[in-house]
Structure 1
Amino acid sequence: MDHKFFGVALLCAFLMINIVFTQFMVHQYYYENYVNVLIFGGLNLGVFPLALFIYKKTKNEKA
């Protein structure tokens, strides 16, 4: 797989994980499990900078 396509696939995976963590966070908030809300919120904040880093790295690669 080309490096550019690998970076895009990795970016898609990180953003999908971000969406899943957000959905879990909203679900746990609805059922008032606030400790789990903080855990998933922290995981969400941890994954987003990784996706941003991959985006910047992939954007600067040559095709």
Structure 2
Amino acid sequence: EDGWQVEAPEIERIIEHSDIEDPEVRRQVMVLLKHRSVQQSLIKSGAVIGQKIITGRMEWYL
């Protein structure tokens, strides 16, 4: 498995127009994902800590 794909158009637009290599930008995106309960929803769907998550062009780990 290549990871979990999160489809969130609003967040994907933010990622598309941001420098996701900048640690501060990545932190802000992660805060947004947390506020939208994305991580909690992934866990409820069967994702486990350490799995790769893909949101737009950003890859991160649960």
Is the shorter-chain TM-score for this pair beyond 0.5, marking a shared fold?
A: no
Normalising by structure 1, what TM-score? Answer: 0.29
Higher strand share: 2
Normalising by structure 2, what TM-score? Answer: 0.30
